[in-house]
Amino acid sequence: MSATTSGAPAPAIRITDLRKRFGSVTALDGLDLTVERGEVHGFLGPNGAGKSTTIRILLGLLRADGGDASLLGGEPWADAVALHRRLAYVPGDVELWPNLTGGQAIDVLSRLRGGVDRARRDELCERFDLDPRKKGRTYSKGNRQKVALIAALASDVEMLLLDEPTAGLDPLMEAVFQACIREAKAAGRTVLLSSHILAQVEVLADRISIIRQGRIVETGSLRDLRHLTRTSVAAIVDRPADAIAAVPGVHELRSEGGQVTFEVDGDAMPAVVRELATLGVTALTATPPTLEQLLLRHYGDDVDDVESSHVEVAR
Amino acid sequence: MTTTLAAPRSASQPTPFDRGRGPLTGFGTLLRFMLRRDRIRFPAWTLGLVLLVAYFANALQLVFPTAADLGAFAAFSSNPAAALLMGPGFGGDEPSLDRFLASTYGMYLIIGACLMSILTVVRHTRLEEQSGRAELVRANVVGRHAQLSAALGVTVLMNLTVAVLMGALLTAMEFDPAGSFAFGASVGAAGVAFAGIAATSAQLTAFPRTASGIAGAVLGGGFVVRGLGDMSAAQGGDLGWLAWLTPIGWSQQVAPFDENRWGPMAVSVGCFILFAALAYALSTRRDLGAGLVQARRGSAGAAPWLSSPFALALRLQRASLIGWTASLLAGAFVYGAFTQAMLEGFADAPPELLVLFGGEDDLLTGYVGMMGLLFALVVTIYAILSVQSLRSEEAEGRSEAVLATAVGRPDWMGSWIASSALGVLLLLVTAGVGTGAGAALTTGEGDLFGEALLGHVAHAPAVWATLAVAALLYGGAPRLVPLAWAVFGYAFVVGFFGPLLDAPDWVVSLSPFEHIGEYPADELSSAAMLTLTGIAIVLTGAGLALFRRRDLTAA
């Protein structure tokens, strides 16, 4: 689709100072977010941080209490219908009509959006290994998720809003999903991909925004966010590991016999690898940080607290 | 991330497995839990039924201060029309207020208790399984039969509460104590019997609505079968035994304030035990979450017509419409076919009673006209339920999927309400055809067919107006939709008890169903039809406008 851009295109999503309360609970507390056209943007945050609320406001399903949000150059609440023709949405918790089959649900949702590409739909059913003839109420969570994904991916739209779209998928299907997102990106589509698992977003996203308690706390490319990421390394080495302890950016080094464990800042990795090479490594594992560790380290969050205090918002 | 392992449980601490291994393990906890969940529902249902009887009793005392005023009752109890609608009128030869209360209003209290039981059992069994919550519970230290038993326990407790409170309250109102408690118990007994029936129906299908529907169909079928039996008994026919085939019949055979028989209630309890045992047996033969009837596979794609919000709304209401059409056609035909018997039975009824049918000159047209009102009210139930389904669509997150496509809010809600309005029309036509065909065939008067059809369909604007009230409530705040039942309840009481209780005009005129006229007994008022249609459109429009402005309430 190209007819919609005129002159310098506005960002796909521009949100400034967005606020939303549910009763006494603050779901969004001055959220700012910009997503450029054509990028895959990871929207990362623990459960209940406000991801779904943000997406629902972008869809015009909820009305913001304050702040501005623009989507594909339009206003989410007022222009909802016109905007929805140009985007597709996959909710985190897909509910289907109990009496309609998966195939019927895909067709209905696609048609209501403005038409379905039959061949693409059938191809996606095959790739995701979905039996479209089963009734909605008999699908498992993962299969319901596939139905919503196929309905979204089969549409010829400019933008995909995906709210934890792979929550119920097995690793094989997650790989199919990743391939589909790459194809969407290659076709020039903008993708907003929310998740609470860093590793899921990392492999796909051009840029990442991290939301915490209703605000964006970090945003940038993976490279920009390197300073946040600290990799855990465990190795078995022949020689003493003192040299590694001296590298700036290495933390919490512990050495016991030949076993050495430590954490290393993202930008210190090259130096560490050079030092490791001289130590006669016989076994090596490096574990990327999880979102929870990251938030814990940088914001002092006790993640359990964050989740429990915001869990009502997600209800 | 570092975690400290919990210290191993010391050997002296009891493990949860010590508590028991039987199929009822956890029964007490679950029972208390269900009571906690129903802390509003339980008193609302039980007190609601009890207060209803107090209201009826009080109103009757005001309207009929002396026994002589009850003259109509004698004829009432022996006439087949009353028998069909309300049950056998025991002790009519010796009119008294308490017998009038039991034989006129008992039926509705009994039906109320049955519905209470069906909804409570299904809520705590099949709905829990469908939502997946039962899985959480059953994965805990809970016996195989604990959940069903606790659900039955709660339901029986509700019925006991109704029985005891009703007896106590009527006794306090200086009704005969033995009769009061027999009356209360008869209402509770029917509820208990239906607790068993609902327990079985909840095993048959994986879906709570179907489970309630099956038990509801047993209730409705029982109502008709019992009605035919009572009607036959009132006419001195030999089909009176039909009344003994149904839980409603058993409760009515108690004959409170007259014979106070407790024997028939033993049959109700036996019915409960039988169906509860059947439910336990069936439940061990199926997987958790599954029904005995397996779901079929469907089509791989949607039919070409299924491509607009209106088409989707119709498609989603289709199954319910088909069920309603079939039952209304059958029910209306039975009531229509009864016209001739009614004419004979009423030949010498007193004028006080005939007022309900518009006087004795027009008994035939009065009866057919009253059927029109009766079925219009039944169709109103469909209308309100359909708005409640729209509410479920939203609460269960499916409306979100639709509204995230290029479908605007007024479009979606408007489509749903329009398809409900169309459904209302279809059901009124169906009921009119049923009543008309039944009446025309038994009386031999062919004109009745068209008259009955018109008389039924003419009520459409009143049903639409009630539908629009529900739509307005939905647009404003979905959790208020149940308030629309107040309109239904009001119209029902005014329509069927207003003439008997001699209600003031302004009270009557508040009901949307009292303006159009009960054709063919009354003239139809096209002004009222237009006004009500206008009101329906305005209220729906206001509902749409409100729906546009509010947040979607997601699951």
Q: Do B323 and B283 have their domain in common?
A: no
- Domain assignment present for residue B7? The answer is no
Between strands A259-265 and A250-256, the pairing is: antiparallel
Q: Do B248 and B311 have their domain in common?
A: no
Last residue of a domain, one of A225, A248, A279: A225
Which helix or strand (DSSP H or E) is residue B108 part of? helix B97-124
Yes or no, beta carbons of B551 and A148 under 8 Å apart: no
- Rounded mean pLDDT of chain A? 86
Give yes or no for residue B79 having a pLDDT over 70. Answer: no
Nearest CA in chain B to A93: B397
CB contacts of A55 in chain B (<8 Å) are none
**Residues A294-309: what's their mean pLDDT?**
57
Which helix or strand (DSSP H or E) is residue A234 part of? strand A230-237
Q: Which amino acid is at B407?
A: V
List the single range of A33-37, A261-265, B273-277, B280-284 with lowest mean pLDDT. A261-265
Give yes or no for residue A310 having a pLDDT over 60. Answer: no
Tell me the C-alpha distance between B422 and B327, whole Å: 18
Q: pLDDT confidence of B6, banded at 50, 70, 90?
A: very low
Give yes or no for residue A303 having a pLDDT over 50. Answer: no
Q: Provide the residue range defining the domain that includes B519.
A: 306-555
pLDDT higher for B501 or A185?
A: A185
CATH code, domain with A259: 3.30.70.260
Between strands A190-195 and A159-163, the pairing is: parallel
Yes or no, beta carbons of A109 and B308 under 8 Å apart: no
Q: Do A70 and A219 have their domain in common?
A: yes
Position B76 scores a pLDDT of: 58
Last residue of a domain, one of A206, A225, A244: A225
pLDDT digits (tens, 9 = 90+) for B176-205: 999 999 999 999 999 999 999 999 999 998
Q: B366-387 burial by CB neighbour count: b if 16+ within 10 A, else e?
A: bbbbbbbbbbbbbbbbbbbbbb
Give yes or no for residue B109 having a pLDDT over 70. Answer: yes
Yes or no, beta carbons of A111 and B307 under 8 Å apart: yes
Give yes or no for residue B126 having a pLDDT over 60. Answer: yes
Q: Do A35 and A132 have their domain in common?
A: yes
Give yes or no for a contact between A281 and A235, defined as CB atoms under 8 angstroms apart. yes
- Domain assignment present for residue A182? The answer is yes
Position B192 scores a pLDDT of: 97
Q: Do A41 and A186 have their domain in common?
A: yes
Instruction: Report the phi/psi class of residue A218: left, alpha or beta, with left for phi > 0 and alpha for psi in -120 to 50.
Output: beta
Position A173 scores a pLDDT of: 93
Last residue of a domain, one of B292, B323, B354: B292
Give yes or no for residue B383 having a pLDDT over 60. Answer: yes
- Domain assignment present for residue B122? The answer is yes
pLDDT higher for B138 or B35?
A: B35
List the single range of A123-137, A257-271, B491-505 with lowest mean pLDDT. B491-505
Q: Which residue has the tokens 């009080």?
A: B58
Give the 3-state secondary structure of residue B471.
Answer: helix
Give yes or no for residue A294 having a pLDDT over 60. Answer: yes
Q: pLDDT confidence of B516, banded at 50, 70, 90?
A: very high
Which helix or strand (DSSP H or E) is residue A311 part of? helix A303-314
Q: Do A272 and A128 have their domain in common?
A: no
Q: Do B73 and B183 have their domain in common?
A: yes
Which helix or strand (DSSP H or E) is residue A161 part of? strand A159-163
Position A240 scores a pLDDT of: 82
Closest CA to A176 of A155, A145, A198: A145
pLDDT higher for B359 or A5?
A: B359
How far apart, in Å, are the Cα atoms of A258 and each of A239, A245, A255, A279, B460? 7, 15, 7, 10, 87
Give how many domains chain A has, as a whole number: 2
Instruction: Flag whether residue B395 sits within 8 Å of chain A, measured between CB atoms.
Output: no
Give yes or no for residue B154 having a pLDDT over 60. Answer: yes
pLDDT digits (tens, 9 = 90+) for B447-457: 999 999 999 99
Give yes or no for residue A40 having a pLDDT over 80. Answer: yes
- Rounded mean pLDDT of chain B? 86
Tell me the C-alpha distance between B329 and B434, whole Å: 5
Tell me the C-alpha distance between B463 and A270, whole Å: 76
Tokens of B231: 């009607």
Q: Which residues contact A3 (CB under 8 A, 6 or more apart)?
A: none
Yes or no, beta carbons of B403 and A292 under 8 Å apart: no
Q: Which residues contact A82 (CB under 8 A, 6 or more apart)?
A: A74, B406
Q: Do B224 and B338 have their domain in common?
A: no
- Domain assignment present for residue A160? The answer is yes
Give yes or no for a contact between B95 and B71, defined as CB atoms under 8 angstroms apart. yes
Give yes or no for residue B347 having a pLDDT over 70. Answer: no
Provide the β-strand partners of residue B14: none
Give yes or no for a contact between A42 and A195, defined as CB atoms under 8 angstroms apart. yes
Q: Do B212 and B120 have their domain in common?
A: yes
Position B15 scores a pLDDT of: 42
Position A252 scores a pLDDT of: 83
Last residue of a domain, one of A225, A244, A266: A225
HSE value, Cβ hemisphere, 13 Å, CA-based, for B311: 14
Q: Which residue has the tokens 């069936």?
A: B282
Tell me the C-alpha distance between B480 and B103, whole Å: 34
Chain mean position to CA B540:
25
- Domain assignment present for residue A304? The answer is no
In this complex, the residue of A56, A101, A111 whose CB is nearest that of residue B300 is A101
Yes or no, beta carbons of A112 and B555 under 8 Å apart: no
**Residues A228-247: what's their mean pLDDT?**
83
- Domain assignment present for residue A293? The answer is no
pLDDT digits (tens, 9 = 90+) for B433-442: 999 999 998 8
**Residues B403-423: what's their mean pLDDT?**
95
Q: Do A149 and A54 have their domain in common?
A: yes
Q: Do A171 and A24 have their domain in common?
A: yes
ipTM of model: 0.80
Q: Do A267 and A171 have their domain in common?
A: no
Q: pLDDT confidence of B554, banded at 50, 70, 90?
A: low
Tell me the C-alpha distance between A209 and A227, whole Å: 14
Q: Provide the residue range defining the domain that includes A276.
A: 230-287
Q: Do A95 and A211 have their domain in common?
A: yes
Disruptive mutation site among A20, A112, A164 for chain B (greatest number of B CBs within 10 Å): A112
Q: Which residues contact A133 (CB under 8 A, 6 or more apart)?
A: A101, A102, A103, B297, B298, B299, B300
**Residues B519-525: what's their mean pLDDT?**
88
Position B14 scores a pLDDT of: 42
Q: Do A159 and A210 have their domain in common?
A: yes
CA triple A120-A123-A128, angle to 5 deg: 120
Q: Do A237 and A218 have their domain in common?
A: no
Position B471 scores a pLDDT of: 97
CB contacts of B298 in chain A (<8 Å) are 100-101, 103-104, 133-135
Give yes or no for a contact between A260 and A242, defined as CB atoms under 8 angstroms apart. no
- Domain assignment present for residue B6? The answer is no
Tokens of A2: 């190209």
**Residues A246-265: what's their mean pLDDT?**
86
In this complex, the residue of A97, A112, A292 whose CB is nearest that of residue B406 is A112
Last residue of a domain, one of B292, B315, B338: B292
Yes or no, beta carbons of A99 and B555 under 8 Å apart: no
- Domain assignment present for residue A179? The answer is yes
Strand ordering across the sheet containing A215-221: A87-90, A159-163, A190-195, A40-44, A207-212, A215-221
Q: How far B299 CA lies from chain A's nearest CA (Å)? A: 5
* pLDDT-above-70 percentage for chain A: 91
Q: pLDDT confidence of B428, banded at 50, 70, 90?
A: very high
**Residues B298-325: what's their mean pLDDT?**
91
Q: Do B130 and B274 have their domain in common?
A: yes
Q: Do B498 and B549 have their domain in common?
A: yes
- Domain assignment present for residue A312? The answer is no
- Domain assignment present for residue B102? The answer is yes
Q: pLDDT confidence of A304, banded at 50, 70, 90?
A: very low
- Domain assignment present for residue A305? The answer is no
* pLDDT-above-70 percentage for chain B: 88
Nearest CA in chain B to A55: B404
CB contacts of A136 in chain B (<8 Å) are none
Q: pLDDT confidence of B134, banded at 50, 70, 90?
A: confident
Strand ordering across the sheet containing A13-22: A25-35, A13-22, A66-71
HSE value, Cβ hemisphere, 13 Å, CA-based, for B312: 28
- Domain assignment present for residue A71? The answer is yes
Give the 3-state secondary structure of residue B542.
Answer: helix
Between strands A207-212 and A215-221, the pairing is: antiparallel
Position B230 scores a pLDDT of: 86
Give yes or no for residue A110 having a pLDDT over 70. Answer: yes
Q: pLDDT confidence of B551, banded at 50, 70, 90?
A: very high
pLDDT digits (tens, 9 = 90+) for B294-306: 667 888 888 889 9
Give yes or no for residue A313 having a pLDDT over 60. Answer: no
Which helix or strand (DSSP H or E) is residue A190 part of? strand A190-195
Size of interface A-B (CB pairs under 8 A): 122
* pLDDT-above-90 percentage for chain B: 54
Q: Do A41 and A139 have their domain in common?
A: yes
* pLDDT-above-90 percentage for chain A: 51
pLDDT digits (tens, 9 = 90+) for A274-284: 888 888 888 89
Give yes or no for residue B139 having a pLDDT over 50. Answer: yes
In this complex, the residue of B309, B409, B551 whose CB is nearest that of residue A62 is B551
Q: Do A107 and A29 have their domain in common?
A: yes
**Cα torsion through B316, B321, B323, B325, rounded to 10:** -170
Q: Do B277 and B314 have their domain in common?
A: no
How far apart, in Å, are the Cα atoms of A10 and each of A7, A64, A73, A292, B474? 9, 21, 6, 33, 37
Q: Which residues contact B262 (CB under 8 A, 6 or more apart)?
A: B182, B185, B254
Q: Do B149 and B221 have their domain in common?
A: yes
Give how many domains chain B has, as a whole number: 2
Tell me the C-alpha distance between A23 and A35, whole Å: 29
Last residue of a domain, one of B292, B317, B332: B292
CATH code, domain with A29: 3.40.50.300
- Domain assignment present for residue B402? The answer is yes
**Residues A124-137: what's their mean pLDDT?**
92
